[in-house]
Structure 1
Amino acid sequence: MVTSRKYAALWNERGFTLLEALFSFFIVCLISFSIPLVIKGFSLVREEMLPPPYYQWTLFNESVRQETWKSRGMTVTNSGFSFILNGEKVTYEKYQDSIRRRVNDKGHEVVLQKLSGLSFNAIDGGVRIEGVFLDGKKLEGEFFYYGE
């Protein structure tokens, strides 16, 4: 009977028993060890959601090509280029590590980002843009205007 009374003290309702305390400690450890894994998973998902550089360049290339196609008169400088589209001055210029678009010298629309190198060169009837992304990928494009 002594042994049964000894084990009966482990299952009383006055407080936690050793078994309950160990189980609670196991649950707390399980949760605290899984938090870094969950955070790492979220950061991987966020990185995968960013478009790759060639996708950004393709979108930039098509939007600039459509705008310059209908534009009139183009001015090219070392830091960017501008043209007239529907009576408004549209400017694409280098801004820190990106290219931004402005209309009538107002606004700040980033159209291409994460560039380590960028150059604008005047060509006959347009502009040549050469860019280098932070990962070292080099891309280039020529944009011509056919307006008046």
Structure 2
Amino acid sequence: MQKPINKNGFTFIEALFALILSLLIISSLPFVVKQIASFHPYATLDDMEANQLFQFIQDEIHKTISFTKTSKGIELLQSDGKRITIEQYGSIVRRQVNGQGHETLIHDISAFNSTSSNEHTVMISVITLKGESYEKTFSLIPKR
């Protein structure tokens, strides 16, 4: 009587295939690590901070029904009646709700300016203490 053939083990071809696949993965790791290490979406930390400030202002403007340019920044009137003030305070830009609170949005700022060409657009410009300048134009979509 013959013994049944055991089919639970590895064949030489399977072992060779696993070895080749492992070597391919290991040989490509240095290239992947180099790409990950050289990835920098922003040139400096100031670039990232300014981008985050502009993103936050954009989120506030999406909830806004009207805005007013003030001497130090902008004042946003939201649909729920809140009055949001974004202004320079010393070397920071802060956010206040109804004239209360103190939320720092960005620090190390030498200038924070807003200019409005019409009632639906405002351009915000920020100059850091290092002298780097950033600006972005925001549009208020009128409610119909």
Q: TM-score, normalised by structure 1?
A: 0.61
Q: State how many pairs are aligned.
A: 98
The one of 123, 139, 142 aligned to 2:137: 142
The residue that corresponds to 1:63 in the other structure is 56
Is this contact kept in 2: 1:77–1:121, CA < 8 A?
no
AA aligned opposite 1:127: V
The CA RMSD measured in Å over matched residues stands at 1.5
Is 1:130 aligned to 2:125, yes or no? yes
Structure 1 unaligned residues grouped into runs of 5+: 1-50
The one of 78, 82, 85 aligned to 1:88: 82
Structure having the larger proportion of residues in helix? 1
- Between the aligned residues of both structures, percent identity stands at 23
Max radius of gyration: which structure? 1
Cα offset, 1:126, TM superposition = 2.6
AA aligned opposite 1:55: M
Which runs of 4 or more aligned residues in structure 1 lie more than 3 Å from their structure 2 counterparts after TM superposition?
A: none
The one of 111, 114, 122 aligned to 2:108: 114
Cα offset, 1:142, TM superposition = 1.2
Cα offset, 1:147, TM superposition = 4.4
Deviations, residues 89-114 of structure 1 (Å, cap 9, x unaligned): 11101100111000011000010110
Is 1:105 aligned to 2:99, yes or no? yes
Q: TM-score, normalised by structure 2?
A: 0.63
